[in-house]
Amino acid sequence: MTEQESLQIIVSMIDKTKSNLKHQSGFYLVWGWSIFIAASVEYGILVLSDYPHHYLVWPVAILFAIATTIFLATKMKSEKRVTTYADKALKYLWASWSVVLFLVLAFPAFGDFSWGDAYLFIIALYGLGAAASGGVLSFKPLIYGGIFSFFLAAVAMVTGLYADFATMLLFLALSILGSFLIPGFLLRKS
């Protein structure tokens, strides 16, 4: 293999990785918008009304996001694109992340752990997912979004704001804005 052929292979792999980045943006945007809207709507219901079932926005948002994720993943598979190590790493990262998220969400039902407490850890998890994804993809806006979520979780912890559920909904919406939506739009443009 000549030096020129080696260089062409490297350029080809970089181009495939760049193409895959645009595909990844759809997942961040779908989940970002779903969680952002759910947190914002639930906050509005809590603040503006006495409706006791304010939490019902979540099943709708989550089902929408899951259905859209399945659709996007199926579409990506049918496009027969090259699967890179970054794709594989992200798949395992987000699958593991989802298991931890489920455990955090289930914990308030089993112990002396409030939803505000859970959201503190969920915001930190969003930071972890965004920062790790940004590292795998070499995409700084995701890394910065992850750091922003870590900062929000730390502020909530140090100030005791995690005890106020409505405030934690706002922090969750801000976390999603910084760690999923803004990086997702920037990823789409890259």
Q: Could you write out the DSSP letters of every residue in 41-106? A: HHHHHHHH---TTGGGHHHHHHHHHHHHHHHHHHHHHHTTPPPPHHHHHHHHHHHHHHHHHHHHHH
Q: What is the mean pLDDT of residues 89-99?
A: 90
Q: What is the mean pLDDT of residues 46-54?
A: 91
Within 10 angstroms of residue 155's Cβ, the number of other Cβ atoms is 13
> Where does the pLDDT of residue 41 fall: very low under 50, low under 70, confident under 90, or very high at 90 and above?
very high
Say whether pLDDT at 20 is over 90. Answer: no
Say whether pLDDT at 124 is over 80. Answer: yes
Q: What is the pLDDT of residues 22-31, one digit of tens each?
A: 667 888 899 9
Q: What is the mean pLDDT of residues 12-35?
A: 74
Angle made by CA atoms 60, 181, 135, in degrees to the nearest 5? 120
Q: Are 29 and 176 in contact (CB under 8 A)?
A: no
Say whether pLDDT at 128 is over 90. Answer: yes
> Where does the pLDDT of residue 99 fall: very low under 50, low under 70, confident under 90, or very high at 90 and above?
very high
Q: What is the mean pLDDT of residues 84-91?
A: 80
Q: What is the pLDDT of residues 132-145, one digit of tens each?
A: 988 888 889 999 99
Q: What is the mean pLDDT of residues 164-190?
A: 92
Say whether pLDDT at 7 is over 70. Answer: no
pLDDT on residue 8: 72
pLDDT on residue 6: 66
Smallest CA-to-CA distance from 129 within 165, 109, 153 is with 153
Q: What is the DSSP letter of 111?
A: S
Give the residue with greater pLDDT, 99 vs 113. 99
**Gap between the Cα atoms of 145 and 93, Å rounded:** 17
Average pLDDT, the chain: 87
Say whether pLDDT at 49 is over 60. Answer: yes
